């Protein structure tokens, strides 16, 4: 479904110049944006609850994280154009090429994630998924056992717990890198990536000439989310 | 006329017929296949177990005709025999050994709610009042141990006693609690302490049982004869209940018409038949049976002597306060010393009547309890002095205790105050003392809270007590085991038990 | 440059300046983290070389008394494979470094040492250590740790330097019986023992399954056991550790044989016909700890001499000085 807010988008022919686009074009759909910021909140919540021994909160936070991650992965195959993996996942040579181009002030434009950003997204999702997975088998040594901790030996569970701790540091590192990159774009390249992720609209100057964005209805997103929730629920409660 | 030869043939035929009848197909199918099956399983299990290795097991097998033959302990033992004085009914530790001045301060006040929540009481209902000790306490001996005024003679030996004030149990009624203390399990069917000890160590004196039980106080304890039963151990290890007055063992003596030589001929004939049965069916219990008949025969002489206190000089009888012909605790204590001298392995005395609920004069602290104390004070003091002077206290482990403690609250049955001062059952804390057998005298281990209700410092489980006793007898409680129902059963059960090393000298 | 909608009043940095800012912010962040996570600060400092980890001397109070307590109660969760709250108590270094929230041991400061606080919390408390479900430390063990911290939590202070520490509980261990070595120890006298057991059933037995020493109990044979029989048993005399000859017809004729039982610890001669020559012979036994002579006619002076050598003598009078069962 195409964006109806700006009728010109519907009507414009394929290779129209940017200056005929409205100033702001919608690139990010609601599910993707909601996902991004909810993940931020959940990671923070998980961090805080783990540090302060609020294990029940940590369990819920992690479970919601898992649900959202599963949703995002599915959405990466069935969602809006900019949300799809096919849109931003590129081979390493392309990523390096892009980075080199950025350095030489000759930045190519992308509607959704640029190749480097795509790599970061993939890395983060993978790392978070691993974190949640190890978390499902972890224990806190005293009273708390994660849902799947008892289906492996105590030794295995301890090893998963150790891994869970190590992966956290890796996630911290990735988040730092992500923040450095985003603020680099903001302060050095003068391209605000934060606002679009909130409002969904990017300035036409940062958009490539050919734009062919399809948006999937949020109702379908809800359905995918429900399916993901069901999967996670079955792990937790069965 | 039938000649003797004809009769012979007839008897022979008759016996043959009976033998053949016994070996029917049904009999074969019933017993031998299961026997074969059991044999196979036994061999296979043995192979399976030994292939795995596992920790080596101690061998307790003996010649079938000598099931009580003495075996050496696992390692050097401090104690060679045990005299266990069980005060059935649960004596009040607050009136004897556990000095709680704070409780006295709160005497008469309502019991705080925090002590009532989550607890089950046998009889207390509503909100009872706290009750301080009925009798004054003072410090005695070089060790300065606290004791009430109820046991003035035992007090003189207080430096030999090791008090454990933090014993606790999870049973709040007599029969299961007694079973727990005596067999390690609150349910029926488990071997008693004495059975385990005689199973592991046998006995040196083959003319007397290795495990003898003497009762006093008028009734059998609530737990019944299972308290000295052998459970799943071979029945030869059960306690033999003897009496200190009248016939030492009921039905042990021959009826008036049967002389001893005649009895001997009878036994020889029974022996022959039993041996035949054994060669036919191979049940080792048959041989044990034979051994028990023989033991009973020997006991006719020796038990009568050992259990008769008339052989003791009058001064000795006076020391214990024993009077021949009575069924008293004093008599039993003197008999216990005689049995100990004759190397009986495990001597157990039960004295009944300590259940001081306060619902009658017999069960009141001021009257009944005081009477009980008077009944045990002199005999126990005499026993300890006697053992010590004979150099036997070092290797005889003397244990005194009940099955649980009594509450810090005055009992109010059905919400009404009982006519006499009394306390309800309290499994959370009670006091046991040990003497001799390598235990450190003049000390107290473990503490209860200020009101004497719960064991708070160094709590001791019943299985810990058992582990400690077995340790003094020279055993690792894990190794004194018997395979039954797929488990290597032990006295201390399956939960971890510790030896209370702090009380050992 | 064409005015782009979103950069007109935004700050613009050059790449190097930005990198410098990133470095600055990151350093500040790490600094804050170090403040909030003292353990992190400690790690960084020790990596840099500013912290000198304390060493534990072999005979020190820490090594002998404190470390075993940590080993028994703590390192399950605060050790090499698991370090809850980043606390490791399997070494002095780890213990002094502390955990996620900083040092748990402050030398000389009991109130400020979180370790002590946690150990002395009431058992039901969530933060009590060891946590509920694990066996708690006994009061004596906590006292030992408190004394150590109060004396400076050092790894060098010797055991004797800290006064008033409750005696350690003897560890009860059950070693497996080494059948081979027991058999070896029994080998020299084994045939003799077997012979004597056949000749005197129920009299001679090994002291325990793990020992090569033997014990004699002839009291059940009564008067039918005498000097002749004892002489026969004497062929194993160097291994006899316990002998009960009460009520037998043994006499002074066996005194010399008795004196040759060098490892005899307990001897019971109650109600026998032995007299002073036997008492004298017994004086040479250095291992003798307990002697029962009830119902004999030994004179008090000999018995007193034996008592002065530390032997517990039981002669039928309850004596308070020899009352406590010590071995």
ipTM of the complex: 0.82
| Per-residue pLDDT reduced to its tens digit, C165-221 | 888 888 888 888 888 999 999 999 999 999 999 999 989 999 999 999 999 999 999
- Mean residue pLDDT across chain B: 89
Q: Is B410 exposed, middle or buried (0-12, 13-18, 19+ CB in 10 A)?
A: buried
Q: What is the pLDDT of residues A77-89, one digit of tens each?
A: 988 989 999 989 9
User: Regarding predicted confidence, which is higher, A157 or B33?
Assistant: A157
Q: Is the pLDDT of residue B468 over 90?
A: yes
Is the pLDDT at C7 greater than 50? The verdict is no
The average confidence (pLDDT) of chain C is 86
Cβ pair C12:A188 closer than 8 A? yes
What is the model's pLDDT at position C82? 77
DSSP H helix total and E strand total for chain C: 13, 6
Mutant choice from B205, B298, B390 vs C, greatest count of C C-beta within 10 A: B390
Tell me what pLDDT residue C12 has: 84
Task: Report pLDDT for C55.
Answer: 82
Least confident of A62-71, B109-118, C187-196: B109-118
Chain A interface disruption, residue of C1, C3, C6, most A CBs within 10 A: C6
Q: Which residues of C touch B505 (CB under 8 A)?
A: 324-327
The per-residue pLDDT for C327 is 30
The pLDDT of residue A189: 84
Q: pLDDT-derived band of residue A15, with 50, 70 and 90 as boundaries?
A: very low
Peptide bond between residue C130 and the one before it cis (omega within 30 degrees of 0): yes
What are the backbone angles phi and psi of residue B272, rounded to the nearest 5°? -60, -45
Q: Beta strands B211-216 and B346-352: pairing type?
A: parallel
Nearest to C81 among A142, A158, A205 (CB): A158
Q: How many whole angstroms separate alpha carbon A82 and alpha carbon B325?
A: 105
Cβ atoms B425, B111 nearer than 8 A:
no
Could you tell me which residues of chain A have a Cβ less than 8 Å from any Cβ in chain C? 23-24, 140-143, 158, 161-162, 176, 180, 183-184, 186-188, 190, 192, 195, 203, 205-206
User: Residue B322 has what pLDDT?
Assistant: 94
Tell me: pLDDT of A121 over 70. Answer: yes
Q: Range with the lowest mean pLDDT among B50-54, B310-314, B447-451, C29-33? A: B50-54
Q: What is the pLDDT of residue B189?
A: 95
Confidence label for A146 from pLDDT (cuts 50, 70 and 90): confident
Q: How confident is the model at residue B33 (pLDDT cuts 50, 70, 90)?
A: low
pLDDT of B119 reads 74
Contact (CB, 8 A) for A100 and A166: no
| Distances B457 to B188, B258, C15, C140 between C-alpha atoms, Å | 31, 61, 68, 10
User: What integer pLDDT is reported at residue A6 of this predicted model?
Assistant: 54
CA dist B69 → B72, B199, B231, B348 (Å): 10, 9, 20, 20
- Asked if residue B473 has pLDDT above 90, the reply is yes
Whether B499 contacts chain C with CB within 8 A: yes
Give me the mean pLDDT over the B122-151 stretch: 92
Burial letters for C73-88: b for 16+ Cβ neighbours within 10 Å, e otherwise?
bbbebbbeebbbbbbb
CB contact under 8 Å between B478 and C268, yes or no, is: no
The distance of C297 to chain B (nearest Cα, Å) reads: 15
* C76: closest CA of chain B, how far (Å): 18
Q: What is the mean pLDDT of residues B320-329?
A: 92
Does the CB of C273 have a partner CB in chain A at under 8 Å?
no
User: For residue range B332-360, what is the model confidence (pLDDT) as tens digits?
Assistant: 999 999 999 999 999 999 999 999 999 99
Rounded to an integer, the average pLDDT of B470-499 is 94
Closest-CA residue of chain C to B436: C325
* pLDDT above 70 (res B240): yes
Across B209-225, average pLDDT:
94
The rounded distance, in Å, linking the Cα atoms of B91 and B18 is 58
- Interchain proximity C171–B502, CB inside 8 Å: no
Tokens of residue C246, six digits? 């009460």
Higher pLDDT, B407 or B125: B407
pLDDT score, position C324: 36
Sequence-separated (6 or more) residues with CB below 8 Å from residue C74: C89, C129, C130
pLDDT of residue C239: 94
- C-alpha distances in Å from residue B83, one per residue of B75, B338, B387, C222: 21, 11, 11, 24
pLDDT at C250 over 80: yes
pLDDT of residue C322: 33
Position B9 scores a pLDDT of 63
Nearest CA in chain C to A159: C81
More confident call, A195 vs B285 = A195
- Inform me whether the pLDDT recorded for A12 exceeds 50: no
For C292, the closest chain B residue by CA position comes to B391
A157 vs A43: which has the higher pLDDT: A43
Residue C164: pLDDT band with limits 50, 70, 90: confident
Residue A1 binned pLDDT confidence (cut-offs 50, 70, 90): very low
Nearest CA in chain A to C11: A187
Please count the residue pairs, one from chain A and one from chain C, whose beta carbons lie less than 8 angstroms apart. 50
- Interface membership of B156 toward C (CB under 8 Å): no
Higher-confidence residue: C83 or C311? Answer: C311
pLDDT band at A14 (very low <50, low <70, confident <90, very high): very low
Lowest mean pLDDT among A101-110, A177-186, C36-45: C36-45
pLDDT tops 90 at residue B424 = yes
pLDDT at B275: 87
pLDDT for residue B212 is more than 80: yes
C-beta separation of B465 from B397 below 8 A: no
Average pLDDT for residues B226-239, to the nearest whole number? 93
Beta carbon pairs, B and C, within 8 Å: 109
The verdict on a CB contact (< 8 Å) between C202 and B343 is: no
Cα-based distances in Å from C56 to C59, C96, C159, C181: 9, 11, 12, 37
Of A6-15, B194-203, B263-272, C107-116, the least confident:
A6-15
Question: Within 10 Å of residue C188's Cβ, how many Cβ atoms?
Answer: 13
Find the CB nearest B75 among C179, C210, C266: C210
pLDDT class of B188 with cuts at 50, 70, 90: very high
* Predicted confidence (pLDDT) at residue B118 exceeds the cutoff of 90: no
Chain C residues closer than 8 Å to B391 by CB = 268, 270, 290-292, 294, 312, 314
Question: What is the separation, in whole angstroms, between the first and last Cα of chain A?
Answer: 38
Asked if C327 and B505 come within 8 Å (Cβ–Cβ), the reply is: yes
Over the stretch C259-314, which tens digit does the pLDDT of each residue have? 999 999 999 999 999 999 999 999 999 999 999 999 999 999 999 999 999 999 99
Q: Which residues of C touch A192 (CB under 8 A)?
A: 6, 10
**Contact at CB, C84 and A141, closer than 8 angstroms:** yes
Please tell me if residue C197 touches chain B, with a CB cutoff of 8 Å.
no
Q: Is residue C23 scored above 50 in pLDDT?
A: yes
């Amino acid at each position: 479904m195409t964006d109806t807010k700006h009728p010109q988008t519907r009507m414009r022919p394929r290779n129209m110049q940017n200056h005929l686009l409205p100033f702001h074009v919608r690139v990010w759909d609601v599910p993707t944006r909601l996902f991004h910021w909810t993940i931020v909140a959940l990671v923070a919540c998980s961090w805080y609850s783990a540090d302060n021994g609020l294990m029940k909160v940590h369990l819920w936070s992690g479970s919601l994280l898992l649900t959202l991650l599963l949703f995002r992965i599915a959405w990466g195959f069935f969602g809006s154009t900019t949300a799809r993996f096919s849109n931003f996942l590129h081979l390493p040579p392309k990523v390096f090429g892009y980075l080199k181009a950025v350095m030489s002030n000759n930045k190519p434009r992308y509607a959704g994630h640029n190749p480097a950003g795509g790599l970061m997204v993939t890395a983060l999702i993978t790392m978070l998924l691993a974190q949640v997975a190890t978390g499902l088998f972890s224990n806190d040594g005293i009273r708390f056992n994660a849902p799947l901790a008892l289906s492996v030996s105590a030794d295995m569970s301890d090893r998963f717990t150790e891994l869970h701790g190590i992966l956290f540091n890796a996630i911290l590192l990735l988040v730092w890198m992500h923040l450095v990159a985003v603020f680099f774009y903001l302060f050095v390249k003068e391209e605000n990536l934060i606002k679009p992720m909130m409002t969904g609209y990017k300035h036409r100057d940062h958009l490539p000439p050919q734009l062919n964005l399809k948006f999937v209805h949020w109702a379908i997103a809800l359905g995918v989310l429900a399916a993901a929730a069901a999967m996670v629920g079955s792990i937790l409660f069965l | 006329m039938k000649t003797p030869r004809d009769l012979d043939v007839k008897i022979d035929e008759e016996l043959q017929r009976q033998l053949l009848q016994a070996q029917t197909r049904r009999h074969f199918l019933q017993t031998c296949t299961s026997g074969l099956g059991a044999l196979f399983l036994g061999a296979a299990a043995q192979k399976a177990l030994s292939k795995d290795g596992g920790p080596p097991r101690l061998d307790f097998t003996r010649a079938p005709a000598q099931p009580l033959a003495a075996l050496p302990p696992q390692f050097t033992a401090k104690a060679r025999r045990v005299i266990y004085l069980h005060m059935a009914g649960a004596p009040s530790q607050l009136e004897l050994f556990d000095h709680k001045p704070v409780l006295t301060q709160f005497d008469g006040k309502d019991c705080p709610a925090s002590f009532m929540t989550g607890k089950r009481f046998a009889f207390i209902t509503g909100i009872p009042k706290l009750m301080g000790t009925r009798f004054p306490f003072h410090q005695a001996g070089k060790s300065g141990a606290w004791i009430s005024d109820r046991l003035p003679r035992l007090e003189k030996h207080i430096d030999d006693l090791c008090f454990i004030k933090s014993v606790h149990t999870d049973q709040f009624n007599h029969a299961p609690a007694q079973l727990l203390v005596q067999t390690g399990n609150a349910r029926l069917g488990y071997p008693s302490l004495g059975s385990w000890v005689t199973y592991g160590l046998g006995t040196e004196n083959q003319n007397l049982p290795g495990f003898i039980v003497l009762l006093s106080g008028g009734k059998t304890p609530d737990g019944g004869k299972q308290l000295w039963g052998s459970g799943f151990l071979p029945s030869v290890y059960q306690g033999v209940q003897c009496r200190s007055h009248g016939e030492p063992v009921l039905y042990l003596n021959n009826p008036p018409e049967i002389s001893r030589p005649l009895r001997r001929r009878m036994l020889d004939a029974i022996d022959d038949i039993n041996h035949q049965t054994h060669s036919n069916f191979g049940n080792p219990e048959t041989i044990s049976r034979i051994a028990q008949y023989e033991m009973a025969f020997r006991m006719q002489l020796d038990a009568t002597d050992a259990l008769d206190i008339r052989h003791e000089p009058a001064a000795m009888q006076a020391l214990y306060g024993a009077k021949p012909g009575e069924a008293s605790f004093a008599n039993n204590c003197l008999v216990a010393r005689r049995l100990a001298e004759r190397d009986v392995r495990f001597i157990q005395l039960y004295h009944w009547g300590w259940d001081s609920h306060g619902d009658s004069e017999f069960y009141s602290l001021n009257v009944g309890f005081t009477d009980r104390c008077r009944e045990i004070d002199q005999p126990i003091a005499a026993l300890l002095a006697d053992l010590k002077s004979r150099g036997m206290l070092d290797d005889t482990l003397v244990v005194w205790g009940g099955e649980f403690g009594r509450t810090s609250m005055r009992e109010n049955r059905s919400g009404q105050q009982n006519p006499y001062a009394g306390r309800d059952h309290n499994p959370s804390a009670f006091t046991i003392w040990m003497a001799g057998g390598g235990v450190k005298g003049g000390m107290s281990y473990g503490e209860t809270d200020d009101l004497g209700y719960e064991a708070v410092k160094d709590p001791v489980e019943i299985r810990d007590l058992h582990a400690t006793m077995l340790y003094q007898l020279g055993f690792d409680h894990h190794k004194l085991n018997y395979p039954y129902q797929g488990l290597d059963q032990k006295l201390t059960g399956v939960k971890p038990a510790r030896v209370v090393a702090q009380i050992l000298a | 440059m064409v005015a782009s909608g979103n950069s007109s009043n935004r700050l613009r940095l050059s790449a190097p300046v930005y990198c410098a800012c990133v470095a600055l912010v990151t350093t500040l962040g790490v600094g804050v983290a170090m403040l909030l996570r003292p353990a992190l600060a400690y790690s960084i400092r020790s990596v840099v070389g500013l912290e000198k980890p304390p060493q534990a001397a072999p005979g020190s109070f820490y090594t002998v008394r404190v470390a075993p307590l940590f080993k028994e109660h703590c390192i399950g969760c605060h050790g090499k494979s698991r370090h809850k709250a980043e606390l490791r108590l399997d070494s002095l270094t780890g213990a002094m470094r502390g955990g996620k929230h900083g040092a748990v041991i402050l030398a000389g400061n009991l109130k400020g040492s979180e370790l002590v606080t946690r150990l002395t919390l009431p058992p039901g408390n969530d933060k009590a250590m060891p946590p509920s479900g694990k066996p708690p430390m006994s009061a004596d063990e906590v006292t030992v740790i408190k004394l150590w911290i109060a004396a400076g939590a050092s790894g060098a202070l010797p055991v004797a330097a800290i006064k008033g520490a409750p005696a350690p509980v003897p560890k009860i261990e059950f070693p497996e019986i080494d059948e081979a070595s027991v058999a070896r120890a029994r080998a020299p006298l084994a045939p003799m023992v077997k012979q004597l057991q056949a000749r005197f059933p129920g009299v001679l037995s090994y002291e325990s399954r793990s020992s090569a020493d033997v014990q004699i109990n002839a009291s059940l044979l009564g008067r039918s056991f005498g000097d002749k029989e004892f002489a026969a048993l004497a062929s194993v005399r160097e291994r006899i550790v316990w002998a009960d000859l009460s009520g037998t017809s043994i006499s002074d004729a066996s005194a010399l044989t008795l004196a040759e039982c060098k490892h005899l610890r307990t001897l019971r001669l109650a109600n026998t016909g032995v007299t002073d020559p036997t008492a004298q012979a017994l004086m040479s036994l250095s291992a003798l700890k307990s002697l029962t002579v009830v119902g004999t006619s030994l004179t008090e002076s000999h018995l007193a001499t034996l008592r002065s050598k530390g032997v517990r003598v039981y002669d039928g009078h309850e004596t308070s000085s020899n009352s406590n069962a010590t071995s």
